[in-house]
Amino acid sequence: MTLDVRRRPAVVVLAIYCALLIVVALWPTPVDLQVRGVLRDIAAMWPWAGYALVEFIANVVLFVPFGLLGGAIMPARWVLVVPVSAAAAIAIEVGQALLLPQRTASLADVVANVLGAAIGVAIFSLASGRAHRRRAEGGPAAVEADAPR
């Protein structure tokens, strides 16, 4: 099985993203250590946006690219992206629990990560569906798809 040449850039970006994700996930100390004061100040300005919510949203955003890139790489099997993201998130949390005493493993992080990947897949699905409809209607995406490579 060879990789479609149109998907190669997404594979390269996914590899870079995963490398950075591993660095962040397995950093020996909490990655928010340097900005905790700022995050607490933000949480104090908006009492409804406590520190836990800010952290949850950050974990959602962290995995949106996983879903987008996974969908781009496996458009016919995009439904697999969410279970793969769950496995990755669980592996990260287990790694933190077993290897990094200063980090805290959390089920909430897994939930947020999977939600982020699902949002990424949904964005990809909506965008690719829109492009597919344009091709079917003979719009700009059709011209790009028919262009010589």
Going by the DSSP 8-state scheme, the letter that residue 149 receives in this structure is -
| Res. 142: pLDDT tops 50 | no
pLDDT in tens, 49-81: 777 888 899 999 999 999 999 999 988 888 899
Give the Cα separation of 72 and 1 in Å (integer): 17
Question: Domain residues of the chain, as ranges?
Answer: 5-146
Provide the pLDDT for residue 132: 59
